[in-house]
Structure 1
Amino acid sequence: MNISVSMYSLNSTIQKENWTVLDFIDYAKSISLDGVELLDFYWNDKEKELEEVVAAVKKHKLKVSAYDVSNNFVKESSEERDIEVEKVKDGIRVAKQLGTNIVRVFCGDLHGTLTYEDGQDWIVEGLRQCVEFAEKEQVYLAIENHGLLAGKSEQVEEIIDKVNSPYLKSTFDTGNFLLVHEEPQQAFDRLKDKIIHVHFKDFREKNPSEEVNGFRSTQGVEVIGAVPGDGQVNLAYIVQGLKDIDYQGWLSIEYEGFEDAKISNEEAVRRLRELLK
């Protein structure tokens, strides 16, 4: 297994210090990572920067673990959903340029009175169109259990089964299951054969005295991002489970807390290396 850090894991630093993708890659090299996970919304001038990023990754002997697309298929008009399909297809093209065969995708977001059941057909239809292109390019689309829509392991499994392609898999986010009140260990046991990419993340319940805005679960519980090991996720169980199935892919750290992002990510890397021994 290899260790990367998602660029989103440094988001507070990126905003505060006005980092570019190249700055993030330099940071990744400084903490001796195997790779980096890049996202579609951090480009300033994608066409110009892509060439520079490919060169920087090669220079630092890093790999791109995945390229993340922030799509949303839960749109009520077919025209809007078509735009989201094109967004994913463009992500596949960018991923190939970056040298990765994994594109992290979302299903969609809840809004208004829409439910998972309302949006499921749109999600499946959109992913079928995307995966047809992904198959030709030999790139895997990896659904993240993100937010409150398709956040449960049974929903991720159901969508993968309905699309029915060997090129649609799971980005298993260890922390996000807590937002839908599912034990990450049980989610892992359900999805372990479908995992192609892992977000190594942890959450803890918000202390009533804290004056910060965390993430609110489906039952209204507020949680705060934590350095892996300081929260509620049994990460040792998941890492051991990945060893048991001989998972050879990436573990990508995604820190979403309020402490110093550089220090927190460096500690997360240290702890993950310990678990992998």
Structure 2
Amino acid sequence: MNTRRTFLSAVAAGSLVPLHQAVGQATPAAVAGPRSSHPIALSTYSLWRFRNDELRDFHKCIDIADEMGFDGVELLLYQLEQNEMLSHSKLMSYKRHALRLGLPLVGLSTHQGWATPDRQLRKENTDRTIGQIEVAYKLGIPTMRVNTGRWGTSGSFDALMKNRGIESPLPGYTDEDAFPWVIEALEACIPTAEKCGVVLALENHWGLGLTPEGILRIVDAVDSPWLQITTDTGNFLEEPYERLEKIADKTVFVQAKTYFGGGQWYSLDLDYPRIGQILQKHNYRGYISLEFEGMEDYRTAIPKSLELMRTAFPRVPA
């Protein structure tokens, strides 16, 4: 059969059909369609958790994510910074490793501390954050989790968690003093974020990010498409669904916590199908990154968590 003549005849007749039909091949049995669920990533925090030194290595974490069937990996930068030099060659080895497995690096989770009256300390945190944006760019990571920082008056993180994330300001100051500091710092980071194509995503964490109103006040004041929100499902300890709804519209990345075996600091009995419906209502289409924070062995808890995420976050066509 002259397949070129068949194809041209179809074009001339205005009845162009898929080429496999024009040349007499069988129609494929399966038709492509949307993914059945949101892409689910594994946060390396789920493995290391500040206590498992043998799981500090990103290469090992990337391998585990691949073996367990995740669609991407979110890197916790603090996990690397504690005992390794951030050399260019080391960073590129993670990028190469992920490429070889076909497993994208989709998020970089970082820490900042701008809730301080010390201007020099705020500048140091801003400079470090700009450097972190450049790390994300080198790794090809499109979004970076940032925090407001906290006052530090709790002493320890354990004490902060015992007080449900609520912390008193430094003597002589209020939260109202800190909002302009955080806004100014993030505004200084925006030009680098835009240049590098890395969306900063302010998390509903502790400090000024304890409430949806606090998060939105900062994001709305900066008013840039390069500053949006990382929604953490486990960081609103009271009225979680109402609060998650308030920040869903500006969410570009989701961290979903599970607590199999009981949480290290607390456990939440989260209705994930309900959370999935909230995100769907606001047309969220992006990644769900698992942050396992329970005491069960990760080898059994993380696969169960992945199954839960696949079920709770179906990918509904827009």
When normalised by structure 2's length, the TM-score is 0.75
Deviation at 1:27, TM superposition (A): 0.5
Provide the residue aligned with 1:85 in structure 2.
126
Provide the residue aligned with 2:85 in structure 1.
45
Aligned partners of 1:131 and 1:31: how far apart in 2?
36
Residue 6, structure 1, aligned to residue 46, structure 2 = no
SS in structure 1 of the partner of residue 210 of structure 2 = coil
Provide the residue aligned with 2:211 in structure 1.
152
SS in structure 2 of the partner of residue 118 of structure 1 = helix
Aligned partners of 2:50 and 2:121: how far apart in 1?
33
* Distance 1:70-1:265 versus aligned 2 partners, 3 A rule: same
Matched ranges for 1:124-163 at <5 A? 124-163=183-222
* Distance 1:12-1:104 versus aligned 2 partners, 3 A rule: closer
Deviation at 1:14, TM superposition (A): 6.5
State the Cα RMSD in Å.
2.0
* Higher Rg of the two aligned structures: 2
- Contact 1:68–1:103, Cα closer than 8 Å, also in 2: yes
Matched ranges for 1:1-277 at <5 A? 1-12=38-49, 15-43=52-80, 44-47=84-87, 48-112=89-153, 113-114=169-170, 115-178=174-237, 181=238, 183-202=239-258, 214=265, 223-224=266-267, 231-277=268-314
> Larger % of strand: which?
1
SS in structure 1 of the partner of residue 253 of structure 2 = strand
Aligned partners of 2:216 and 2:50: how far apart in 1?
35
- Contact 1:184–1:234, Cα closer than 8 Å, also in 2: no
Aligned partners of 2:292 and 2:208: how far apart in 1?
21
Aligned partners of 2:233 and 2:103: how far apart in 1?
24
Aligned partners of 1:16 and 1:165: how far apart in 2?
38
Provide the residue aligned with 1:219 in structure 2.
none
Aligned partners of 1:254 and 1:166: how far apart in 2?
26
- Contact 1:255–1:265, Cα closer than 8 Å, also in 2: yes
SS in structure 2 of the partner of residue 109 of structure 1 = coil
Aligned partners of 1:19 and 1:172: how far apart in 2?
24
Letter in 2 for 1:3: I
SS in structure 2 of the partner of residue 258 of structure 1 = coil
Aligned partners of 1:134 and 1:24: how far apart in 2?
26
SS in structure 2 of the partner of residue 128 of structure 1 = helix
Aligned partners of 1:155 and 1:103: how far apart in 2?
19
SS in structure 1 of the partner of residue 200 of structure 2 = strand
Give per-residue Cα distances to partners, 1:20-54, cap 9 Å, x unaligned. 11010010110111100002222212213201101
Letter in 2 for 1:39: L
SS in structure 2 of the partner of residue 254 of structure 1 = strand
- Number of paired residues? 254
SS in structure 2 of the partner of residue 49 of structure 1 = helix
Identity of aligned residues (%): 30
Residue segments in structure 1 that go unaligned for 5+ positions in a row? 207-211, 215-222, 225-230
Aligned partners of 2:95 and 2:258: how far apart in 1?
30
* Distance 1:167-1:18 versus aligned 2 partners, 3 A rule: closer
- Runs of 4 or more, structure 1, over 4 Å off, are none
- Contact 2:208–2:215, Cα closer than 8 Å, also in 1: no
